[in-house]
Amino acid sequence: MAGVPRERFVPPEHQRRAYADSALPIGAGQTISQPWIVAAICQALELGGDELLLEVGTGSGYSTAVLARLAGTVLSVERLPGLASAAERALGELGVENVELTVADGSRGLPERAPFDAVAVHAAAPAPPRALIDQLAEEGRLVVPVTAGRTDVLTLYRRRGDRALTHEIGPCRFVPLVGEEGFDA
Ligand code: SAH
């Protein structure tokens, strides 16, 4: 994380806070993820360096840049085209090459590219997202915030045969996942 210049993903008016451990507005009502939560997601995914990883919620592209250093290939999906193109520009300027960005509803996953060794979701789902669990490879890991009453719970699912082993990492706060397996827009 020390190798990713977070200021390149933060809008000019928030530059002074680029290295604060907090989420910051990036436009369109969305936020750049708080560094510790990006770290917690990466840690839970147990990346070894050669994974095919699906990211849902590119946002600014900051978490994409961190994940790209830890996995083999990152397929990142964002539903808002304006954010996706700004992220593409920032990642291009930094020379990040092992990333493919797609504008789509990532709550459905990317069935045509599955199975995935790892899936990182940066927006809170109303329930365990079935499509994403189904697109995991054997022993694949999915980390997703799942809404539980007034907070969200960062949750790890590990695919083992027909089962998904579940581990609650801890409470967190995310913008909503909007889409077919998410909340209504
Ligand atoms: N990880 C990003 C921040 C993400 S904020 C960063 O570090 O900057 C969550 C993002 O998820 C927002 O950009 C939002 O538009 C996006 N999002 C919400 N629902 C989505 C969906 N169904 N598919 C893809 N992206 C979605």
Contact 90, 141 (CB under 8 A): no
* Cα distance between residue 184 and residue 78, in whole Å: 16
Neighbours of 94 (CB within 10 A): 15
Distance 78 CA to ligand 1 centre (A): 6
Two structure tokens written together for 26: 């990036």
What total number of domains does the chain contain?
A: 1
* Cα three-residue angle 105-112-97, rounded to 5 degrees: 80
Round to whole Å and give the CA distance between 28 and 118. Answer: 27
pLDDT of residue 149: 87
- In this predicted structure, what is the pLDDT of residue 79? 98
Asked if residue 97 is part of any domain, the answer here is yes
Over residues 36-58, the mean pLDDT reads 98
Question: Has residue 4 been placed in a domain?
Answer: no
116-121 vs 99-103, strand pairing mode: unpaired
Q: What pLDDT, in 10s, does the model give residues 114-169?
A: 999 999 999 999 999 999 999 999 999 999 999 998 899 999 999 999 999 999 99
**Spacing, Cα 55 to ligand 1 middle (Å):** 9
Mutate to test the pocket of ligand 1, among 80, 91, 181 (most ligand atoms within 8 A of CB): 80
**In a domain? residue 117:** yes
pLDDT digits (tens, 9 = 90+) for 58-97: 999 999 999 999 999 999 999 999 999 999 999 999 999 9
Is residue 60 in contact with ligand 1, taking CB distance under 6 Å? yes
Residue 26 included in any domain: yes
Q: Is residue 183 part of a domain?
A: no
Please work out whether the CB of residue 56 comes within 6 Å of at least one atom of ligand 1.
Answer: yes
How many CB atoms lie under 10 A from the CB of residue 163? Answer: 10
- List beta partners, residue 176: 124
CATH number of the structural domain spanning residue 46: 3.40.50.150
Query: The tokens of 18 are what?
Result: 């680029």
Q: What is the band of 38 on the pLDDT scale with cuts at 50, 70, 90?
A: very high
Asked if residue 53 is part of any domain, the answer here is yes
CA separation for the pair 131, 77 (Å, rounded):
14
Q: How far apart are CA 93 and CA 129, in angstroms?
A: 33
User: What are 60's two structure tokens?
Assistant: 């600014």
**Biggest alpha carbon–alpha carbon distance for the chain:** 48
The parent domain of residue 123 ranges over: 21-172
- 70 domain-assigned: yes
